[in-house]
Amino acid sequence: MANSKLIIVEGPQGAGKTTITDFIRYRVPYTNLYRLNGISDSTPSGKAKTEEMYKDLLDYMEKMQNKSINLLFDRTFFTEEVYCRLGFKEYSFTDVYEQLLERVSKMDFDIFYITLYLSDEDEFERRLLRAGKADVKYAKFSKDGSINQQNTYLILADEIREKHSNINVVNIDTCIGMDAVKEIIEQLLL
């Protein structure tokens, strides 16, 4: 097997992360998928819990280097940074975020940071309802909230691309259709 891959998929609610990470999991051989939700404590004491959780996660990731397995994450500490930048938390996470990002950049993986986004912001309204559950809305899901998240994720992607040339930063517009997105993913990862 070629170098193992570390694939992190981020983006706002409704951008298609679950669909794409499920696709990657089954399409790219030897891939383990991890879905992270973070810690709900948004107080300053939550920062310490979150920092510990993500440092432990990176310890695990470092142990998995050179094991001939790919690691795929549907959200990680990047989401924590986005939520803090948007004011959803009572603390700044930037100091911890920068340390974690530096550690990731030094890992012995082919590293892919994929941001999914929607070029047609009205599409967020159409995705408010989950497939198969037409009357159930996402928790705390709103068009404006998703647009704000999306803009922050795209800024983060630009910052990562500028600071860490060894991280393959890819932004994918899921408005082009999931079949086209899957083709891009295959060309990128296979």
For the chain, list the domains and their CATH numbers.
Answer: 5-189 (3.40.50.300)
State residue 37's pLDDT score: 85
Q: Return left, alpha or beta for 118; rule: phi > 0 is left, psi -120 to 50 is alpha, else beta.
A: beta
Angle between helices 17-27 and 178-189 (to 10 degrees): 40
Cβ–Cβ under 8 Å, residues 117 and 174:
yes
Which among 79, 83, 73 has a CA at the least distance from the CA of 9? 73
Tokens in use for 13?
């609610």
State residue 125's pLDDT score: 82
State residue 45's pLDDT score: 94
Amino acid at 150: Q
Work out the burial of residue 121: count CB atoms within 10 Å of its CB; fewer than 13 is exposed, 13-18 middle, 19 or more buried. middle
Helix or strand or coil: residue 112? Answer: strand
Angle between helices 143-163 and 77-85 (to 10 degrees): 120
* Phi, psi of 133, rounded to the nearest 5 degrees: -135, 65
Which among 174, 120, 162, 165 has a CA at the least distance from the CA of 11? 174
- Per-residue model confidence as pLDDT tens for the chain (190 residues): 458 999 999 999 889 999 999 999 999 999 999 999 888 899 999 999 999 999 999 999 999 998 999 999 999 999 999 999 999 999 999 999 999 999 999 999 999 999 999 999 989 888 866 544 344 443 456 788 889 999 999 999 999 999 999 999 999 999 999 999 999 999 999 9
